[in-house]
Every structure is written in C-alpha cells, then in structure tokens.
C-alpha cells in the first residue's frame, strides 16, 4: 500500500514537472518545421520562473474569485494528472474518479477559467469565455462518447480496467477504437486550444479564444495558468496514450517494469508532440464558426465508433 | 470474439469504407471528392483481396484487380481530367448544410445496422457482420446524390453506390459470378464515359453544371 502511495506521488510530481517540458518540445518541433531557429526546450520553465518572480497586478474591481481561480485550475489539472495512469496502472488515486468524473474535473477547471475571465468585465474576457463555452459544450459530449466506446470494450468506466484490458490481454484490432482515437485527437486539439480551433501563439488578435480569457492575469497567477495549460496538454496526451497505445504501462504491483514504462512514456510523448507540431504546421486555423463543424465531426466519429462496436465486436 | 487477424483487418477496412462515405458527405470540393472516391476503391480492393486470400475464392482476385484498375486509377483520372477541362474545382455548398447532412447520415447508419442484423444471420460467410456497413454506405451515397446539385458529385455518388453494393455482395455471398461482375464493370465504365459526354453537353447548353437549370426544360 505504501509503495502504491509513493508511486502515486511520484507519478503526479513527474507529470507536473514534465508538463512544461512537453510544451517546450512541441514548440521546438514547430519552430523546426517552420524553419525558425527553435527556443531552448527548457524555455517554458524560464517563463514560469520569470513570472513567479514578478509582482502581481490585479484590477481594482476584481473579486476574490479572480485571485482564487488560478489555484483552482491548477489543482484540477494536477488531480486529473494523478488519476490518469502514465507509468504505472491501478494506483491508489485511480478509484477516486472514473472517466466520467474525469470529464467533470476538466469541466470544473473550465468553468472557473470562464468565470474569472468574465469577472473583470473587459470585452475581451467575456468574448473569450463565451467562445470557450461554445467550443467546450460541443467537445464534452464527444469526449464522453470516446470514453463510452472504450468502456464498452473493457466493460468498465474505470481507467485502470480499460488500460489493463487493452494493454495486458491478447492483441486484437478494434475498428471502433480507431474511430475513437481520431475523434479523441480532434477533441484534444480543440480542448487544448491548438490549431485549427485556436492559435496558442497569438496575443491580442480578434480570433483568439484561450488567450482572450487570461489577458488580465499577470505574474504568479499567469504562471499557474500557463503551467495548468501545459499540464492539461500532458494529461490529455497521457489519456490518449492510456486509451489507444497503452503498451508499456506497468501492470499493478509490477515494480520491475517501471523503468521500461518510463522510457515508453517518454518515447510516446516525444512522438505525440512531434505529430501535434507537424499537424499544426500543415493546417490553417479554422474560422470560429467552422469550429462547431469540426467538433460535430469528432462527435460523429465517436458515435460511429460506438455503433461499429455493436455491429462488429459484440 | 475470436476472429483471425485478416478478418479483423477486413472489419477495419469495412469501418474505413463507412468513414470514407461520411467524408464524402462532408466534402465541399470536387477534387477532394474524387480523391476520396479513389480511396474508397482502394479500401474495397484491399478488403476483396483479403477475403479472396482468406477463403480461397480465386474469382475474387479478378474482381479486386478490376476494382483497382477501374475505380482507383481509371475513373479518378478521367474525372480529374474533366474537372481540369471544365475548370470547376470550387467550393460547392450542398443543398442541406453539412452538419445536418451528417446527422441524417447517423440516423441512416443506425437504420441500416438494425435492418441488416436479421439478414446477416441468414448468411453463412465469415464477414457477414459487415453487411450492415455495406447497406449504410449505399444509403449514405444515396444521401450524397440527393443533397448535391452539381453533376459530377451526383455521378460520384452513383459510383459510390456501386462500390458499396459490390462490398455488400462480397460480404454476404463472396461476390457475384465473374461474368456478372465483368458485365457490371463494363456497364459502369460505359456509363461514366456517357456521363462525361453529358457533362460537356450540359455545360454548353446552360453554361453551368448545376442540374437545377435543367428544370427550365419542362414544358409549360
């Protein structure tokens, strides 16, 4: 039991510490692909350090919610990162929340972000919050559908059971999970505010979604939100790995498999980050009103995956 | 669920066919539509060849080869040439907007999956469960023909119906006799050429390939 708790703490800490590195890797790949000279891979850490050392400036009419929100968002993301199995399966935290509750945790963070954005009352803040809600209310049912498809195969909504079913049993091709994987990729692109739904590289542009919400934040609050954003990308990547390419995650109590699991995770994250950067480079940002169509397609794919599961795999 | 690997791959290809059908429904550009049609043919070729290999039905190899030559290489090339000649690769808005079309598509898929379940119980082939997917592809191609007003997407919709019927025949009864298949292939080829000539005629008469203009021909 105590090894389990230690392992759990180690995994959560690892996720929190590695998350900015993943962000740095994606940025570096993007810079290479666009023919720019890349910033160092540790650039996100430097930005965070710089922000933590600055003095926070807060608007006069800000309510306590505005100060509280960054901590809440960061806590939600850290909790989510602890629940998703990254290197070891079936840790003490995992029974605390199944995939449906996980979607709820993401939603909680999003609600606080949107409320904080509207709190000051600037035009950009409420514009960003509304757009975020538009994107997320379409992404959430699609995400649930993806989880349901995986749950139908594993006969459980608990993440450890899903991972154990897909990783440690006899290999089989599931057409439904292929559909779910494509849908999951589209959803995570939208949820993490990447191209083609939102552009993470813009400030003060009329098309922005995520950046518009955090314009009013500075110093440590901004640092926490930036870190939470990196953590969200990491958690979504870990979730995608756990659902679709879970091979290598150590089974319960299998301590000897941990070094290999760590290596496998790093390799998968490197590949996934490079793929994300590549897809971002070759695609253009969608018009805002095409975003519902994009997410509608994701929902459609997830539903098709579920239907195909009933037709072909039962 | 204990299927051999090549049957699992056939199932995957069937799912891919369905995906391509939906992609065709959502495609706005004609060039993209032609590319998707070629991909559909490629998936069909692969699945037919796999079924031929796994069941030892040699005549299916011929139909796979026929599909490859006609539907993956021949017809897309012909369509690309027509599009280039008529200079008409622009965004085309379908008559019903795309999200609505997709929703209708999902309803059609559920309908055909339910419809095909009792039928596939009767069939004795190893890939009978894909019959529902074939039926869904037929209906989706129909839907595409209904929602498009331009001539080329309609013809591609028609060819997609033929593709999915072919897939249905393979999954339900290991394909039709070779003579029938040759006849159908010849029919389709001749049909495409006749329609190609029609395209030019329609364009010369109405200055557009939008079939709505043909309503002018009605006698008052």
One-character DSSP codes across B56-100: T-THHHHHHHHHIIIIIIIHHHHHHHHHHHHT--S----SS-HHH
Each residue's pLDDT tens digit, A267-307: 898 899 999 889 888 888 888 888 888 888 899 889 888 88
B211 or A124, which is more confident? A124
Q: Nearest-CA residue of chain B relative to A177?
A: B12
**Least Cα separation, residue B194 to chain A (angstroms):** 35
Segment A224-237 mean pLDDT: 92
**Under 8 Å between Cβ of B131 and B91:** no
Residues 26-45 of B with CB under 8 A from A: 26
Best B11, B93, B106, B112 member to test A by mutation, with max A CBs in 10 Å, is B11
Q: Which of A29, A40, A65, A90 is nearest to A249 (CA)?
A: A90
- Inspect the interface and report whether the beta carbons of A296 and B109 lie closer than 8 Å: no
Query: Which residues of B are less than 8 Å from A175 in CB distance?
Result: 11-12, 14-15
The segment with the largest mean pLDDT, out of A216-220, B84-88, B93-97, is A216-220
Segment B70-94 mean pLDDT: 80
User: For residue B53, is pLDDT > 70?
Assistant: yes
| Owner of token pair 């907007």 | B97
Each residue's pLDDT tens digit, A50-62: 988 988 888 888 8
Q: Is A248 on the interface with B (CB under 8 A)?
A: no
Best A165, A172, A311 member to test B by mutation, with max B CBs in 10 Å, is A311
Each residue's pLDDT tens digit, A10-33: 888 888 988 999 989 988 898 888
- Inspect the interface and report whether the beta carbons of B99 and A301 lie closer than 8 Å: no
Q: Nearest by CB to B99, which of A293, A301, A312?
A: A293
Q: Is A154 on the interface with B (CB under 8 A)?
A: no
Q: Is A141 on the interface with B (CB under 8 A)?
A: no
Q: Which of A213, A172, A237, A178 is nearest to A22 (CA)?
A: A237
Count Cβ–Cβ pairs < 8 Å, chain A vs chain B. 56
Share of chain A above pLDDT 70, in %: 96
Indicate the domain borders of chain B.
5-217
Burial of A69 (0-12, 13-18, 19+ CB in 10 A): buried
Q: Is B99 on the interface with A (CB under 8 A)?
A: yes
Share of chain A above pLDDT 90, in %: 16
User: For residue B1, is pLDDT > 50?
Assistant: no
**Under 8 Å between Cβ of A293 and B110:** no
Among A79-83, A175-179, A253-257, name the one with the lowest average pLDDT: A253-257
What pLDDT sits at residue B220?
Answer: 62
Q: Nearest by CB to A300, which of B1, B102, B129?
A: B102
Rounded to 5 degrees, what angle do the CA atoms A125, A123, A106 make?
A: 20
Best B5, B14, B19, B22 member to test A by mutation, with max A CBs in 10 Å, is B19
- Inspect the interface and report whether the beta carbons of A173 and B5 lie closer than 8 Å: yes
Number of domains in chain A: 1
Q: Is A176 on the interface with B (CB under 8 A)?
A: yes
A144 pLDDT tier (thresholds 50, 70, 90):
very high
Q: Is B106 on the interface with A (CB under 8 A)?
A: yes
Each residue's pLDDT tens digit, A256-278: 778 888 888 888 988 999 998 89
In A183-204, which positions are buried (b, 16+ CB within 10 angstroms) versus exposed (e)? bbbbbbbbbbbbbbbbbbeeee
pTM of the model: 0.85
What pLDDT sits at residue A235?
Answer: 92
A236 pLDDT tier (thresholds 50, 70, 90):
very high
Q: Is B22 on the interface with A (CB under 8 A)?
A: yes
Q: Which domain holds residue A105?
A: 2-312
What pLDDT sits at residue A75?
Answer: 92
Best A306, A312, A313, A314 member to test B by mutation, with max B CBs in 10 Å, is A312
Query: Which residues of B are less than 8 Å from A311 in CB distance?
Result: 113, 129-130, 132-133
User: For residue B79, is pLDDT > 70?
Assistant: yes
What pLDDT sits at residue B2?
Answer: 52
Among A72-76, A185-189, B104-108, B127-131, name the one with the lowest average pLDDT: B127-131
What pLDDT sits at residue A232?
Answer: 92
Mean pLDDT of all residues belonging to chain A: 85
Each residue's pLDDT tens digit, A160-207: 888 888 877 767 778 888 888 989 999 998 888 887 888 777 766 677
What pLDDT sits at residue B42?
Answer: 92
Residues 275-304 of A with CB under 8 A from B: 292-293, 296-297, 300-301, 303-304
Q: Nearest-CA residue of chain B relative to A301?
A: B19
Q: Which of B168, B165, B212 is nearest to B187 (CA)?
A: B165
């Amino acid at each position: 039991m105590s090894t389990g708790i230690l392992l759990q703490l180690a995994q959560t800490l690892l996720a929190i510490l590695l998350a900015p590195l993943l962000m740095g890797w994606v940025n570096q790949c993007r810079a290479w692909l666009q023919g720019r000279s890349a910033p160092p891979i540790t650039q996100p850490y430097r930005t965070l350090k710089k922000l933590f050392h600055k003095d926070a400036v807060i608007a006069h009419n800000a309510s306590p919610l505005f100060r509280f929100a960054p901590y809440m968002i960061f806590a939600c993301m850290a909790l989510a990162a602890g629940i998703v199995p990254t290197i070891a399966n079936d840790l003490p935290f995992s029974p605390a929340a199944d995939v449906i509750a996980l979607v709820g945790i993401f939603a909680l963070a999003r609600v606080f972000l949107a409320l904080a954005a509207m709190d000051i009352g600037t035009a950009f803040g409420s514009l960003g919050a509304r757009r975020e809600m538009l994107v997320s209310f379409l992404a959430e049912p699609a995400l649930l559908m993806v989880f349901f498809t995986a749950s139908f195969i594993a006969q459980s909504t608990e993440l450890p059971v899903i991972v154990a079913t897909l990783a440690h049993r006899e290999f089989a091709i599931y057409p439904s999970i292929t559909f779910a994987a494509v849908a999951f990729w589209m959803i995570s692109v939208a949820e993490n505010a990447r191209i083609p739904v939102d552009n993470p590289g813009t400030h003060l542009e009329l098309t922005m979604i995520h950046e518009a919400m955090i314009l009013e934040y500075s110093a440590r609050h901004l640092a926490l939100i930036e870190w939470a954003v990196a953590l969200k990308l990491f958690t979504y990547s870990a979730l995608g790995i756990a659902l679709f390419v879970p091979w290598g995650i150590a089974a319960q109590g299998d301590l000897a498999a941990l070094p290999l699991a760590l290596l496998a995770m790093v390799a998968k994250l490197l590949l996934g980050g490079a793929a994300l950067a590549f897809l971002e480079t070759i695609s253009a940002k969608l018009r805002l009103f095409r975003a519902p169509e994009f997410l509608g397609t994701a929902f459609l794919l997830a539903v098709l995956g579920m239907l195909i599961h009933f037709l072909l795999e039962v | 669920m204990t299927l051999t690997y090549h049957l699992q791959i056939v199932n995957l290809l069937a799912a891919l066919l369905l995906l391509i059908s939906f992609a065709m429904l959502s495609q706005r550009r004609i060039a993209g539509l032609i590319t998707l049609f070629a991909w559909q043919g490629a998936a069909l070729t692969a699945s037919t060849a796999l079924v031929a290999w796994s069941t030892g039905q040699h005549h299916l190899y011929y139909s796979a080869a026929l599909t490859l030559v006609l539907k993956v290489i021949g017809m897309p090339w012909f369509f690309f040439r027509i599009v280039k000649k008529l200079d008409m690769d622009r965004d085309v808005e379908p008559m019903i907007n795309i999200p609505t079309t997709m929703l209708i598509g999902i309803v059609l898929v559920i309908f055909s999956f339910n419809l095909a379940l009792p039928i596939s119980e009767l069939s004795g082939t190893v890939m009978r469960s894909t019959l529902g997917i074939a039926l869904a592809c037929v209906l989706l191609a129909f839907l595409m023909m209904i929602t498009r007003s331009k001539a080329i997407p309609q013809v591609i919709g028609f060819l997609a119906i033929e593709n999915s019927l072919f897939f249905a025949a393979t999954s339900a009864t290991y394909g039709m006799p070779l003579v029938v298949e040759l006849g159908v292939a010849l029919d389709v080829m001749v049909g495409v050429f006749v329609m190609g000539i029609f395209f030019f005629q329609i364009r010369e008469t109405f200055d557009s390939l939008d079939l709505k203009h043909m309503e002018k021909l009605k006698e008052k």
